[in-house]
Amino acid sequence: MSNTLEPSPASGQAAPSEPPETEPLLGRIGAASQREGAPFWKNLIMGTGFLAQIGLLTLTATTWVSIFSLPVGLFTLHPLFNSIGVLLLFEAVLLLQPTHTANQKFKGAIIHSTLTGVSLLLFVGAGVAILLNKIRIKHEHFGSAHAILGLVVYVLILIQAIIGFAQFYTPRAFGSVENAKAIYKYHRLAGYMIELLLVVTLIAASRTTFALGPLSFKTWTVVIGSSSVAIGVIPRIKKEKLGFKCR
């Protein structure tokens, strides 16, 4: 397997030096950068990453408190698997954001693809669970904003995972390694769009009849959790990785 990740401008250079005294407390925008030899788990909390972790914890906890306050059944698997899938998908991105050398990007992509692979399996399980549950209770399919958004996001995640896997593991599928590298920026952009859509789908889940009724899945906790995730993820986006020229 070849390393198909585009060489970083920082490849082979020394680890970034200590931030200057004048730097904002949470670091400059996009500044979270992994030091050479530093463990990958630190990328999850680096810079504003800890705010994303607090948000993800809030989202997972609020989902679990709601679903386990009711008798466990086939439906339980839907929010349970989705919540873990969302958690892993965000961690997969948070882990990769601070990478900047070719070596870090290569190792990071292997962990990233493993985490997204597991989350994809969880999303399939969650989708099958809600479909079977609706067939069982003879309830109409895709009759709410959450259901439609959910279907769209499942399909987008599947497409994103297939293209991302092919880019990294079978780049020749794109004609050449260079062609595969050239579209990484679109993979990143699509990834952030999917994350946004996931958050909107979660908020829409809290507005379904079942969530407003017996489930008592509160919109305000989802909004607070999602906002914290956004404040954690957005400032760490490196614009140059999205193909924008930076000075």
What DSSP assignment string belongs to 178-244? HHHHHTHHHHHHHHHHHHHHHHHHHHHHTTSHHIIIII---HHHHHHHHHHHHHHHGGG--GGGGT-
Side chain identity, residue 64:
W
* For ligand HEM, the closer CB: 180 or 222: 222
- Of 4, 33, 48, 83, which one interacts with ligand HEM (CB under 6 A)? 83
How far does Cα 125 stand from its chain's mean position? 18
* For ligand HEM, the closer CB: 70 or 162: 70
Question: What span, in angstroms and rounded, lies between the C-alpha atoms of 49 and 43?
Answer: 7
In the chain, count H helices and then E strands.
8, 0
- Of 146, 188, 238, 241, which one interacts with ligand HEM (CB under 6 A)? 146
Question: How many residues in the shown chain lie near ligand HEM by CB under 6 A?
Answer: 31
What's the closest the beta carbon of residue 197 comes to ligand HEM, in angstroms?
8
Q: Is residue 127 left, alpha or beta, with left meaning phi > 0 and alpha meaning psi from -120 to 50? A: alpha
Q: Which two tokens stand for residue 64?
A: 């679990």
What's the closest the beta carbon of residue 67 comes to ligand HEM, in angstroms?
6
Scan residues 97-126 and list those touching ligand HEM (CB under 6 A): none
Which residues, 6+ apart, have CB-to-CB distance to 135 below 8 Å? Answer: none
Indicate whether 147 belongs to the interface with ligand HEM (CB under 6 A). Answer: yes
- Of 4, 48, 217, 229, which one interacts with ligand HEM (CB under 6 A)? 217
Indicate whether 201 belongs to the interface with ligand HEM (CB under 6 A). Answer: yes
Burial 66-75 (b: 16+ CB within 10 A, else e): bbeeeeeeeb
- Of 38, 210, 219, 234, which one interacts with ligand HEM (CB under 6 A)? 210
Indicate whether 79 belongs to the interface with ligand HEM (CB under 6 A). Answer: yes
- Of 15, 61, 72, 131, which one interacts with ligand HEM (CB under 6 A)? 131
Q: Which two tokens stand for residue 209?
A: 């009849």
Indicate whether 198 belongs to the interface with ligand HEM (CB under 6 A). Answer: yes
Question: What span, in angstroms and rounded, lies between the C-alpha atoms of 60 and 84?
Answer: 7
Residues at the contact surface with ligand HEM, assessed by CB under 6 A: 63, 66, 78-79, 82-83, 86, 127, 130-131, 134, 139, 141-144, 146-147, 150-151, 153-154, 198, 201-202, 205, 208, 210-211, 215, 217
